[in-house]
Chain A
Amino acid sequence: MIKVQEDDFSVDALYQQLLKKNKTGAVAMFVGLVRQFAEDTPSTSKNQNEDCAFELEHYPGMTERNLQTIVDEANARWPLLEVVVVHRVGRLSIDDQIVFVGVSAGHRAEAFSACDFIMDYLKSRAAFWKKETQGSESKWVEANTKDEKSLERWS
């Protein structure tokens, strides 16, 4: 299942979707959260955390297709039972959940690897853009070359 949505998600509910009776031997799950992004710029504001927010933009139609391509590739590489990807868009605050990737399989090795692979590709090959807002200032997040480099692990 692949979903792009504004609403929050329940990890418990998504976990249940990953279980296949008498087949599942391993489930690997990843949850990405909004963290304090101004950690490199010391601030004197006591309420810094409360002012921080993300605006997540996506390209309806393309984003879902990108995610499907990534999940298809994961299924081609490993024998998986179920894959669930949920990514939120819209306005998010510190500590909010952003993304869920869950993979079930017969054994842990493929579950771990596929979960890692999907997150890696989601970072660099899915049409999402983050904008940080702090107080009255906002700026678009720049792509991290580390993320692109991380893909080399899978080639």
Chain B
Amino acid sequence: MTKVKVVFFASLKESVKCDAYTLECDLPMSIAQLKTQLSSELENGQALLEQGIQSSVDFEFTRDSDQVTEAVQEVAFFPPVTGG
């Protein structure tokens, strides 16, 4: 088992009621798999599975099929961005 730091932003952070969480999991796994495991561990975790939720690994945008490896420092989940 590996510990992965996961952070949340904006409305998703409020939905899951935490801004950071340490997930213990077997790596490598895809973003989609990680999201599914997270959703079962977090309060109101189904918010993670809503359409449009985006992700990043070590500050780079990722897709559901991208792999999270043991070298990863930080995974993030957030709603679509609304800057500018």
Contacts and interface: CB of A to CB of B under 8 A. Distances in A.
Partners in one complex: yes
Interface of A is mostly: mixed
A78 interface: no
Nearest to A57: B10
B78 A129 contact: yes
Instruction: Give the size category of B's interface with A.
Output: 10 to 19
A59 B76 contact: yes
A58 B80 CA distance: 12
A21 to B, nearest CB: 31
Given A59-B76, A131-B10, A143-B52, A65 B82 contact: no
B84 A62 contact: no
Among B7, B11, B79, B83, chain A packs the most CB atoms within 10 A around the CB of: B83
Specify which of A32, A59, A87, A119 lies most central, judged by the most chain B CB atoms within 10 Å of its CB. Answer: A59
Interface string A116-129: 00010011111111
Contacts of A87: 83-84
A66 B81 CA distance: 12
Contact of A123 (B10, B59, B79, B83): B83
B81 A99 contact: no
B79 A140 contact: yes
Contacts of A62: 56, 59, 76
A80 interface: no
Given A59-B9, A143-B52, A128 B59 contact: no
Interface of B: 7, 9-11, 52, 56, 59-61, 76, 78-84
Given A128-B81, A130-B83, A143-B80, 4 more contacts: A57-B9, A66-B59, A87-B84, A143-B79
Interface of A: 32, 56-59, 61-62, 65-66, 87, 98-99, 119, 122-131, 140-144
